Structure 1
Amino acid sequence: MGERKQSPSLSQRREGESVLKLTPGINQAVPGLAQEVRPVPLENPILLGWSEALATELGLERCDEALLRQLNGEGPFPLPATAQVYSGHQFGGYTPRLGDGRGCHLGEVAGRELFLKGSGPTPYSRGGDGRAVIRSAVREFLASEALHHLGIPTTRALAVLASDTPVFREQPERGAITVRVTPSHLRFGHFEYFRHTGQPHRVKALLEYALARYFPCCLNQPEPVTALFLEVVERTAETVADWQAAGFVHGVLNSDNMSLLGETFDYGPFAFMDRCDPGFVCNHSDHYGRYAFDQQPGIGWWNLQRLALALSDHLDGALMAPALELYRTRLTARYLWRMEARLGLPGDGGLQPRLDRIAALVTLMQESGVDYHSTLRLFARLDPEGDGGELKARLGSRAAWTTWWHGYRQALSFGDLGGWQRGRAAANPSVVLRTHLAQQVIEAAERNDTRPLRELHKALCRPYDDHPETPHLTEDPPPWASTITLSCSS
């Protein structure tokens, strides 16, 4: 076997040569979408986190000194860095001009866009410093990887960098950069901006690019834009359903944080809920609970209506009724598929009884005040022919338990117990990115101790394993976890 070819070392590379093989993308193809910017590098950057699997997909073997400099915004770059303009509805009110206020696009690598989040001010910073801090950068890095390995559509994160650059928030913190990777950063807010600023030709240009690049199957339809919109409806519905089944709360579902591709996008004050609470609000800034866990399905549709308005020159108004029905149908089907896999139910029978069975379990969990994730993980050890075991110990004090358990057993159809339990272990993660776990690794990272972050990242990449070597990652949260607050600066 021949010797493995190594990446050229820093000394072997020609001076001024880019490590990243960047190619042009949408920012170069659609005039008016982005402006050129100059990244402002961090002082003394260090690599905190690195996704080796994603790096391999992008054709990157390791993060050496030259690549670290590029990810820090130092260059050299074969293309000018750019920042995109967009608008959006924030907490229900329209903000006419937003944009990439603390990051820049470098171009594409292996067909995916690279974005440096925290690389300094842009024309859209609105007086801000354009920086991210370690806590927000680490949270996005971990969340992107966590949702990806749970099978939930999301942007990815290649790396997270820390530095000595001071950043002033509620108190002085250290500047950081998250390297975001996605096929497209197109948001609902891009179309809103060009529609509401009277630039219909740019709405058309964005649609043409999106159809050709991301939705080519729609080009063969009689009305390609209608087909694209309905595809976005389906993708959005399925991602929201995935969040609901996973107990994940995005936290800031503004229309500018909605991806045209249906990816989980722009992580801020997100959280996986601990105690089962459908009304859970993770964002301390969300005073009225607009983006509570149980509001996400309705907000997803509300944002799709904003997108439809932005595309109204290209859509028939009569489309909205069937689009709403499609949204409801796909969201319900996807949620049932996820939850019935978690519970080991066969997925047949009437729609309403199936939904009612899951809703009754969620109510039992809520009234019992139990942890959402570890309770569902108990199904991996459940003997459905027994009396409920550990599950009964958690929920059996409720009068409704007996009724639910009887109906659940009647609905089941299974043969080999071991195979059935392995199926439940493959559908109910033992490790999720709990807020207190993220907080612990952030505090260590701020001391330049990367071991806890690497340990948690490794576990999140194998969320369905038991991880006996790190039991603290699979335990219910400690009491102090409920005191952690998250806001839009998180």
Structure 2
Amino acid sequence: MKTLSTLMFANSYSELATSLGMSVIPQPLDQPYLVHFNPLVAEKLELDPAVVLDTRFIEIFSGNKILANMSPLAMKYSGHQFGQYNPDLGDGRGLLLGEVITSTGKKWDLHLKGSGKTPYSRMGDGRAVLRSSIREYLASAAMAGLSIPTTHALAIIGSQTSVIRENVETAATLVRVAESHLRFGHFEYLFYTGQHQELQQLADYVIEHHFPELASAPSPYASLFKQICQRTAAMIAAWQAVGFAHGVMNTDNMSILGLTFDYGPFGFIDDYEPSYICNHSDYSGRYAFDQQPAIGLWNLSAFGYALTPLLNKTEIDDGLEHYQHQLQQQYSHNMRQKLGLTIADESDTQLFSELLQLLKQYKVDYTLFFRTLSQVRIDELPHGEHHFNALFQCTLALKTWLACYQQRLQLEPDTRQRLTTMRQHNPKYILRNYLAQQAIEEAEQGNYQLIEQLMTVLAHPFDEHEDVEKLAQLPPHWGKHLEISCSS
């Protein structure tokens, strides 16, 4: 385990084209303090959790000091925002502090979010508020606990620095950790500015650092695009199965490693509504929950177009077809796991569809339905609708579906592990919007107990955690209709 002084840093990204970023010194926060620290993320960095006792920890991650071997850099990229190309993007409130190298040679980006103005801040102040920092901190922990690829967060640092959003709030920094912060938008920036040699250099960098096995492929760049399509498909299939809406799927928020990235107005579905929009700024519903698979394809198409100096049309089309095939295959696999099915059958699509239609029609809580189903034995299914009385106003149609489900289970070679499998793939705990909001409001008063409780259950969302079962209850009516904005 390492201390702050013994962390080994590299700064390979800063050795790329100078147009891809600019060196920036963080702007310090006033009277900084630790809000919360995640030892599970520290473990990824091989960082001793006792590091929080080092007085430099808060100073470094509040922008008041930097380690000698850090090389803070604001990344430059562009991207399509709500379908329109925007050339004026970049790290407007974040800095890549450096790349931590572990004893195994694995590289982790250490990123400070909310560190003040950069050349890409445009009209912004470069700050993050405590509210948005807590939401991303909790969200990244929730996704990691669900085994969905994501960026991570090591700590939140609060302060007395005032910032103005809709109201006066206090600034904070989020210490983000990721295998890479490279986005589709990095490639789009180089393509649209005609820096095609630098674009190839960046593609080579991605292959060297993240996909070294592709270096010897017959067509390394085509294989790279296909691999990114596959990872994106797996990520979005996982989102759809667990009921997660990202909210702002712009291409500058799309990771080249298929990581859930840049948590803004995200939301986990409460009552099942496929057209759920979690971002109140998304007036057209472009990024609604049920649009995410298609938007993934749209974003990959834009990304593929940015790679046309390296790829031909056939290679791009092959990658996009691979995305669609992988997305469907992975989503079907995920749904079968949620229902405890181990083999594929042609009737599965109809079984899934009829269930989702039921959940939509009766406005049933998505997470609690599947968790409840994970408790019902096969022999109970034909008359097991009473288990769902708290979720359905009328269970007559559900009774019919449960009978069909029991019939489908008869095709399984072995159902003895069904309930165990289902409980391993249907979480009891998700980060509901109202819980995040309550944690924020309490934290703004200096109480971090709910953050601590949420971090415990979100790290192990499939376990029972009987002492805090209230966090798994149906949300109150007001908690289902919270509007989340991009303001942070």
Equivalent of 1:362, from 356, 381, 397?
356
Written as runs of structure 1 = structure 2, the 5 A alignment for 1:116-131 is 116-131=112-127
Alignment map for 1:269-418 (pairs within 5 Å):
269-350=265-346, 353-386=347-380, 387-391=383-387, 393=389, 394-395=391-392, 397=394, 400-413=397-410
SS at match of 2:233: helix
What is the CA–CA distance in structure 1 between the aligned matches of 2:283 and 2:125, rounded to whole Å?
Answer: 26
Contact 2:221-2:311 at 8 Å conserved across structures = yes
Indicate if the aligned counterparts of 2:244 and 2:268 stay in contact, CA closer than 8 A.
yes
Partner of 1:104: 95
Pick from 61, 72, 75: which aligns with 1:71?
61
Deviation (angstroms), 1:399:
5.5
Q: How far apart in 2 are the matches of 1:38 and 1:157?
A: 21
| Amino acid across the alignment from 1:285 | S
Deviations 1:431-469 (A, max 9, x none): 000000000111111111111111111110010011211
Q: Distance in 2 between matches of 1:339 and 1:366?
A: 16
**For each residue in 1:143-194, what CA deviation from the matched residue of structure 2 results, as whole angstroms up to 9, or x when unmatched?**
0111011010001111111110001100000101111111111100000001
**Partner SS for 2:169:** strand
The total of aligned residue pairs comes to 475
Instruction: Give the deviation of 1:206 after TM superposition.
Output: 0.3
Instruction: Answer yes or no: is the 8 Å Cα contact 1:18–1:75 preserved in 2.
Output: no
Q: Deviations over 1:328-360 (max 9, x none)?
A: 21111111111111111233222xx32221111
Give 1:281 deviation, angstroms.
0.1
Offset at 1:238? 0.7
Question: 1:136 and 2:132 equivalent?
Answer: yes
Match of 2:28 among 26, 41, 47: 41
Q: CA deviation at 1:419?
A: 3.6
Partner Cα separation in structure 2 for residue 359 and residue 417 of structure 1: 22
Aligned to 1:28: 15
Per-residue deviation at 1:142? 0.6
Could you say which residue in structure 1 is the equivalent of 2:208? 212
Unmatched runs of 5 consecutive residues or more in structure 1:
8-16
Residue type of the alignment partner of 2:46: G
| 8 A Cα contact 1:69 1:75, kept in partner | yes
Query: For the structure 1 residues 334 and 417, does the alpha-carbon distance in structure 2 shift closer, same or farther, using more than 3 Å as the test?
Result: closer
Q: Which amino acid in structure 1 is aligned with residue 475 of structure 2?
A: P
CA RMSD of aligned residues (A): 1.8
Q: Distance in 2 between matches of 1:483 and 1:134?
A: 22
Task: Give the 3 Å change call, closer, same or farther, for CA 383–95 of structure 1 in structure 2.
Answer: same
Distance 1:176 1:87, change over 3 A: same
CA contact (8 A) 1:346 1:411 kept: no
Residues 191-230 of structure 1: CA deviation (Å, up to 9, x unaligned): 0001001111110110110111111111111110000000
* Uncovered stretches (5+) of structure 2, i.e. residues with no partner: 102-106
User: How far, CA to CA, are the matches of 2:109 and 2:78 in structure 1?
Assistant: 20
Instruction: Write the distance in 2 (CA, Å) between the matches of 1:182 and 1:6.
Output: 18
Partners of 2:230 and 2:258 lie apart in 1 by 8
AA at the equivalent of 1:405: L
* 1:81 correspondence with 2:79: no
Distance 2:356 2:177 in 1: 35
**Alignment match of 2:262 (pick from 257, 260, 266):** 266
What is the DSSP-based 3-state SS (H/G/I as helix, E as strand, rest coil) of the residue aligned with 2:172? strand
Question: Does the alignment pair 1:223 with 2:219?
Answer: yes
Q: Distance in 2 between matches of 1:325 and 1:406?
A: 36
What is the one-letter code of the residue matched to 2:438? Q
Give the TM-score taking structure 1 as reference length: 0.93
Q: In the TM superposition, what whole-angstrom CA distance separates every residue of 1:282-340 from its partner, at most 9, and x where no partner exists?
A: 00000010000000000000000000110001111023433232112111111111111
Name which of 471, 477, 484 aligns with 1:486.
484
SS at match of 2:487: coil
**Counterpart-to-counterpart distance in 1, 2:386 and 2:22:** 58
Amino acid at match of 1:429: P
Q: Distance in 2 between matches of 1:209 and 1:476?
A: 47
Contact map agreement 2:384 2:399 (CA 8 A) in 1: no
2:424 is aligned, of 407, 423, 426, to: 426
In structure 1, the partner of 2:234 is: 238
Name the stretch that deviates more: 65-74 or 139-148.
65-74
TM-score, length basis structure 2: 0.94
Q: Which residue does 2:104 correspond to in 1?
A: none
C-alpha distance in structure 2 between counterparts of 1:53 and 1:130, whole Å: 28
Secondary structure of 1:279's aligned partner: coil
- What displacement does 1:480 show? 1.3
Within the candidate set 147, 153, 169, 1:157 is matched to 153
Q: 1:80 to 1:324 in 2, by over 3 A?
A: closer
2:64 & 2:385 partners in 1: Cα distance?
58
Measured at CA, do residues 42 and 312 of structure 1 come closer, stay the same or move farther in structure 2, by a change above 3 Å?
same
